[in-house]
Structure 1
Amino acid sequence: MANLLIKCMAVLTMDGKGDIIRNGEIAVEGSRIFHVGPAGSTPEGFSPDRVLDYPRMVAMPGLVNCHTHAAMTLLRGYADDMPLMQWLKEKIWPLEEHLTPGDIYRGTLLSCAEMIRGGTTTFADMYFEMDQVARAVDESGMRAVLSRGMIGFGPNAESAMRESREFVRRWHGGAGGRITAQFGPHAPYTCPPEYLKRVMAAAEELGVGIHIHLAETADEIKQIKEQYGKSPVVLMEETGLFELPVLAAHCVHLDDRDIEILARRRVGIAHNPQSNMKLASGVAPVTRLLEAGAIVGLGTDGAASNNNLDLLEEMRAAALLQKVSIGDAAALPAYEALRMATVEGARVLGLGDKVGRIKPGMQADIILLDTRRPHLYPVFDLYAHVAYAASSADVHTVIIDGRVVMEDRRILTLDEDAVLEEAQSAAEGLVSRREAVKNG
């Protein structure tokens, strides 16, 4: 693996507020960051194989997408403008029954290309046929936290358990250490406590965490309270789920007790503002969660409910949504939103010691933004520029694990034209199979 020396206009290290290195440089040795500092400060003896000299670029940590369903890019635009349960039951689940392993591979490759172009270097995914997802991650060069979605009742409950165990054994630490495997019980309303306890035992045995949807809709809160007499968060607490590392997606409908539990138990929370808005699921109390000391990152959810995987856009939406929902223009300021997309997102996924900051010893997941754009002038506050003005089209170069995977807007790990054509063909075939069955 090549040693790199990156020279740029500024480095946003995300290793402490105000810690911007103007006219900075980053030395990358193999897959790790060796040094970061002002121009000319790299220790003598470091010998770069390549120098990336970009005087108009801003370097920052790669973005972290804490929750998505990558292969659902194939369903983008298939079903819109419907509430969650109707959307799932009438459109998404019936179509997903016709997905093939090849479809999932092609849909995931499409999502990887989209995320790389938008500066996302790490993502968390819950779906099925996860070997195909892992294969796509490996080929694209991305970093990912992957879990096989599990429904705890019905004919597939046992196969989901078996396949999840096999997937964790096969892929945890895979792709040169870029893949982390987890168990993925779908939600409290699809995985009863008895099943969750079996999932927890398997996760503890194999030394991995859990990815679950939690407190996403008002209907979920109503159903769980009617069935168990308590909120989904309290139910998970009493079931013992939070004894393990947990990635909880959404966490929209929370009371004070729920927030206290999530903060105390150090549950990683994936906030998905645009999906929650589009499905009318509600507004997560992010400001209150942060005030309580909870760990909150950002996710896009799947492209069928967003409809893109643009984390820069998600960051802006998160900040603006908190401001308008609580009537406070100072809520979730630019720097805090940027932390959610980088260092806090890494902590949510249990990767805080590896990625999310530009610091010696961390894995070299770095993106370069081209600031020579009309919408990024004049320059006053770089944090605000990234959080409120930058777009995915500004991402010029992406480095993951020390490897340049995109440079000058050209993805180097994938044949992008082939990815697009094969994804289109897969999506059309999927819908055709569904319509053939539907029409008898």
Structure 2
Amino acid sequence: MQDKTNIDLLIVRGTVITVDPERRVIEDGALAVLADRIVAVGTTAELQARYTAKKTIDAFRQAVLPGLIDSHAHAGHGLLKTMGGGDGEAWSAACEQIYTVGSDEDFWYAEARLAALERVRCGTTTGVCLFGGGDSIMRVDEPAYAIRHCDAIAETGTRSFLAVGPSRPPAPRVYARWDGDRRTDREVSFEQMFETCEEVIRTQHGRADGRVNICVTLPVYHPDQTPEQLAYADLFGVQAQQYMGLAQGYGLAFTQDGHRAGSLQLAEEMGLLGEGSFMSHAIDLTPGDIAACVATGTRIVHNPSAIMSIRGRCPVPELLDAGVTVALGSDGIAPDRSYDMFRHMFQAMHYHRRHFRDAGVLPHGKVLEMVSIDAARTIGLAHEIGSLEVGKKADIILVDLFKPHLMPLNMPVYRVTAFANGADVTTTIVDGKVVMESGRVTTVDEAEVMEAAQRATDRMLERTGLRHLLDAPEKLWRASHY
């Protein structure tokens, strides 16, 4: 009788949805994990005969999936939920004020821990976060803020890409540093923003055994900008060279937030498209935009729950039919969204089915690919994550299928994409480490994370005088429109 091989973790008796090249779904399936890698995928009987494990997880009546990937979100937004009560302009203005003069290092640390905690609970093991938001207002006056964000990710145990780049013109911009109640303002130039970004890349990329990664971003240049923005056309061209050079020099991915009709063609002219680039929103694209993606191998991130997807449509089926890789993003986590990628899968299916009046658009397996293997391909990690295959990183989640809304026990892919939600995730494993088991997060004190987030929010509201944006709008009730 052959001796069994010792491993660290054995998951047994689950419904294993591999998303591997054969798209196998293994009933009574099992996974074997050694250190941070998957070393075997098969049936429970096969793997129990081959391995003895330090830890065994019984996944009976649970789906076993690759960890979900959120390919577009925003650091900082987690403490700005609901502000403005539906007034998008007020919310964007609040973002600008908070991210430049209303936030301190504790704000960015507390927000990142809260966001990472939510992702752990929702089974989102990897996320891309732009370091700021609104209309491309980034906290890049000095590296300390991004470092605290990365500290939080390292501690919580998720896998992350932090996108750093300059704020939208004009510059210099006024940023404030807080020492207790004392505020010190300074003007920050584009040159200083660039230096900050490079320092963050140099010191933070690859932290926590490679779980913390940095990528590069740049505000999108639109052909229909206001005259004030059009005045900066030459500057956008110069920054395109600088920041794409930064990304290529360090071997990093490049991303942008807010593409729409015609802007991808302009990005191609600026040299921003390519296999290392993934572009978000991409609404109302022209045939030329789609052709540019096809020619360059550029990936697209669709955010079906975002405000931009109300203002226009990302032509996902058309992009897929043209051969473009499309991933899903939350655009989270404010003003009205979450990091629950199950929610965004469901939203994507119905969004495009309604557009085409066709219930066959975006099959269930396709949307699952868009938060797993296609998302991994989008961010340049398909060789490491996105599917349950031998040799890949052990980023794994378990979803409890034995619940009223997930019964009866058949057609697991459909149940996961159409009926499951983040609260059904019982276990989250990142890099072979169990960060949540049976609904209990093991890496951080959840109550302490939430209390710290509330304190940071209250401090920010006091400093900015924006507490009035938490008041309910007059037309919250009994009206068809705000």
**1:37-58 alpha-carbon deviations (Å, 9 max, x no partner):** 0112128663311011121111
> 1:167-182, aligned counterparts within 5 Å?
167-182=200-215
**1:173-211 alpha-carbon deviations (Å, 9 max, x no partner):** 211011221112132257711111111112222221212
**Other-structure match for 1:435:** 465
**Other-structure match for 2:60:** 55
Gaps of 5+ in 1: 222-230
Choose from 113, 119, 138 the match for 2:123. Answer: 119
Q: Equivalents in 2 of 1:387, 1:253: separation in Å?
A: 26
- Give the Å deviation of 1:82: 3.4
Choose from 136, 153, 176 the match for 1:137. Answer: 153
Tell me the secondary structure at the aligned position of residue 330 of structure 1.
Answer: coil
Q: Equivalents in 1 of 2:365, 2:214: separation in Å?
A: 30
- Range with greater deviation from structure 2 (8-17 or 371-380): 8-17
> 1:213-292, aligned counterparts within 5 Å?
213-216=257-260, 221=261, 231-243=262-274, 245-276=276-307, 280-292=310-322
- Give the Å deviation of 1:269: 1.5
**Other-structure match for 2:383:** 353
- Range with greater deviation from structure 2 (153-162 or 394-403): 153-162
**Other-structure match for 1:203:** 247
Query: Does the aligned pair in 1 maintain the 2:69–2:127 contact within 8 Å?
Result: yes
Q: Equivalents in 2 of 1:416, 1:148: separation in Å?
A: 28
> 1:374-393, aligned counterparts within 5 Å?
374-393=404-423
**1:300-323 alpha-carbon deviations (Å, 9 max, x no partner):** 113223322111101110111010
Query: Does the aligned pair in 2 maintain the 1:275–1:305 contact within 8 Å?
Result: no
* Shift in CA distance, 312/89, structure 1 to aligned 2, threshold 3 Å: closer
**Other-structure match for 2:76:** 71
* Shift in CA distance, 169/291, structure 1 to aligned 2, threshold 3 Å: same
Tell me the secondary structure at the aligned position of residue 4 of structure 1.
Answer: strand
**Other-structure match for 2:217:** 184
Tell me the secondary structure at the aligned position of residue 42 of structure 1.
Answer: helix
Tell me the secondary structure at the aligned position of residue 284 of structure 1.
Answer: coil
* Shift in CA distance, 119/263, structure 1 to aligned 2, threshold 3 Å: same
Whichever of the two has the greater Rg, that structure is 2
* Shift in CA distance, 373/66, structure 1 to aligned 2, threshold 3 Å: same
Query: Does the aligned pair in 1 maintain the 2:327–2:370 contact within 8 Å?
Result: yes
Query: Does the aligned pair in 1 maintain the 2:253–2:379 contact within 8 Å?
Result: no
> 1:347-426, aligned counterparts within 5 Å?
347-426=377-456
- Range with greater deviation from structure 2 (262-271 or 69-78): 262-271
* Shift in CA distance, 152/197, structure 1 to aligned 2, threshold 3 Å: farther
Number of residue pairs the alignment of both structures matches? 422
Q: Which amino acid in the other structure matches residue 81 of structure 2?
A: R
RMSD: 2.0
Choose from 105, 109, 124 the match for 1:105. Answer: 109
Q: Equivalents in 2 of 1:366, 1:179: separation in Å?
A: 18
**Other-structure match for 1:146:** 162
> 1:326-337, aligned counterparts within 5 Å?
326-337=356-367
Q: Equivalents in 2 of 1:80, 1:30: separation in Å?
A: 46
TM-score by length of 2: 0.84
- Give the Å deviation of 1:255: 1.1
- Give the Å deviation of 1:240: 0.9
- Give the Å deviation of 1:401: 0.3
Q: Equivalents in 2 of 1:254, 1:262: separation in Å?
A: 11
Question: Is the aligned partner of 1:39 residue 2:44?
Answer: yes
Gaps of 5+ in 2: 1-5, 132-138, 140-144, 173-188, 223-228, 230-234, 469-482
Query: Does the aligned pair in 2 maintain the 1:168–1:181 contact within 8 Å?
Result: yes
**Other-structure match for 1:226:** none
Tell me the secondary structure at the aligned position of residue 242 of structure 1.
Answer: coil
TM-score by length of 1: 0.91
- Give the Å deviation of 1:73: 0.5
- Give the Å deviation of 1:17: 5.7
Q: Which amino acid in the other structure matches residue 391 of structure 1?
A: N
Choose from 144, 159, 163 the match for 2:192. Answer: 159
**1:196-238 alpha-carbon deviations (Å, 9 max, x no partner):** 111111222222121211424xxxx5xxxxxxxxx21111101
Q: Equivalents in 1 of 2:291, 2:466: separation in Å?
A: 50
Identity of aligned residues (%): 30
**1:15-62 alpha-carbon deviations (Å, 9 max, x no partner):** 146510110110001000000001121286633110111211110100
Large movers: runs of 4+ above 4 Å:
none
* Shift in CA distance, 176/196, structure 1 to aligned 2, threshold 3 Å: same
Query: Does the aligned pair in 1 maintain the 2:70–2:375 contact within 8 Å?
Result: yes
Q: Equivalents in 2 of 1:214, 1:95: separation in Å?
A: 20
**Other-structure match for 1:91:** 94
Query: Does the aligned pair in 1 maintain the 2:37–2:393 contact within 8 Å?
Result: yes
Query: Does the aligned pair in 1 maintain the 2:94–2:466 contact within 8 Å?
Result: no
Q: Which amino acid in the other structure matches residue 60 of structure 1?
A: L
Tell me the secondary structure at the aligned position of residue 77 of structure 1.
Answer: coil
Q: Equivalents in 2 of 1:248, 1:169: separation in Å?
A: 24
Q: Equivalents in 1 of 2:58, 2:295: separation in Å?
A: 45
